[in-house]
Chain A
């Protein structure tokens, strides 16, 4: 099994995104470095719009993650409601 990962800048805009990821993906772990947070997860990781919106109380467009995204690894499947990273093998 391989890890996928996603990394964000450590700032107020990214905080609810990171919280939502950790809530929706109990198998994921966050590693903090200066100015950034990297989240690793075996095989698969999903970001859900609704979870972020529930935390912030405002509408969220998943493409907003681009503003604070640093890096990622894995294949991507994205639509209006969710963003998934995965490895097939």
Chain B
């Protein structure tokens, strides 16, 4: 027997592992087996035109993923064994990790489910294989993040009920509703929303400068899971741009459909990233770059190159592009202000930055910080020192689409809050921007079903069973926190005076000195 088998080249290997694996069904018609492949109006004439340019095959996939896992878990083990958390710059940093486990990791799980589902509904095998790999990547990210962050959960507040909070707490409805919007779309819209708009255009902003920031702040565990996830992300981004090219090249009728999805999902993703902007500018004690700089490198420069390249298909920049650029001087400061105000209702801590940090923000935001945001923070600090730390006890109005409180200002006018509204079937709906309004108006049947946390609280749906709001002395906000399982005074309120602050100071003191 001849055992000398010539090894296939990359391109042949890819063809062998992704082509000719499917079949035409006979017991049932194809359109009944793949009902979602056509109903969005996207026309595909030749599924085999789909090619993964990395030409990753399942065998190579397992090999490299296995290597990544071994490296990652060695770091996580070392971090935990050696109390690596004591080496972070400052306990304030941990609040960024809290936001990550509360608001980002659950999205990884949603992405796992989403790719499993759309992989089932695409007809071509190449695309199905790519979706299968991504579905596995995403559950890996959810697991590795949970494992890496569990070491912090042993020592700090604000992480013990993160999944419970994801389904209930007001600001977490922002990422949650974003992903549920994508999951309930058709398979091609899902690819445009997650693979293209989120992964290709926006995800660098989350994982690259922020994770580099984690490294800068001594958080080995986070930077390692972040970059380990990001190595998969490069594949996902490539899936995103290939998905767009594939749809656009298959039929000219696909162009306007895809353009509307790009408009919608660029804006949806950009709004979610407000949280990341705030993490970068306010929650990293040592900063690598400002949100504005990261936006310019990874959003503007990269986005411009991309849309210039896609222009040959008749695709233009997303409609919200210029408003997003206008927002780079403002959104992180406006978001931090909102969380500072509503910190009684949020299971992480906020604070007024130190003078040195305020100076850094002044230097990084020469067009906006001193004029609009610094005086407000200094006023808060003065009030706090006088014993009047302000906590807002009213509930904010939310945008029906992005579910963010109405905190953003008019493009070109940072002193006026931006409000939009529309009427639909006798009810009035409110929006933070022209773009969220337009998204609603394209699909009102979908967004009238939004689970808006503030509305739900006012309707009495956010109290524990058996709570009687008519009792004398009933405190509705405390009843909501109880429903959240938020440990009042430990998970929430200002960092100054928090248990996290005291514990970290004591533990670090023990790490640096011998006690008798």
Contact = CB atoms under 8 A, between A and B. Distances in A.
Interface of A: 2-5, 7, 9, 33-36, 38, 62-64, 66-80, 87-89
Interface string B55-69: 110001000100110
Interface in B41-64: 53-56, 60, 64
A59 B443 CA distance: 54
A33 B288 contact: yes
17 contacts: A7-B208, A35-B216, A36-B208, A36-B211, A62-B10, A63-B54, A63-B64, A66-B231, A67-B71, A67-B231, A69-B234, A71-B204, A71-B208, A72-B234, A78-B54, A78-B55, A88-B309
B234 A71 contact: yes
Interface residues on B, range: 35 or more
Contact of A73 (B64, B289, B302, B311): B302
B305 A71 contact: no
Contacts of A2: 304-305, 308-309
Main secondary structure of the interface of B (DSSP, over half): helix
Given A72-B237, A74-B305, 18 more contacts: A4-B305, A7-B208, A33-B212, A33-B288, A33-B289, A34-B215, A34-B216, A34-B288, A35-B212, A35-B223, A63-B60, A66-B231, A71-B207, A78-B10, A79-B10, A87-B305, A88-B312, A89-B312
A77 B287 CA distance: 35
Contact of B212 (A3, A34, A63): A34
A39 B309 CA distance: 20
A67 B230 contact: no
Central interface residue in B56, B204, B289, B304, by most chain A CB within 10 Å: B204
Contacts, number: 99
A73 B305 contact: yes
A70 B305 contact: no
B250 interface: no
B336 to A, nearest CB: 23
Contacts of A9: 227
Contacts of B67: 67
B277 interface: no
Contacts of B241: 75
A60 B223 CA distance: 26
A80 B7 CA distance: 11
Given A7-B208, A9-B227, A70-B230, A77 B53 contact: yes
Contacts of B26: none
A80 B230 CA distance: 23
B64 A64 contact: yes
Central interface residue in A34, A62, A75, A87, by most chain B CB within 10 Å: A34
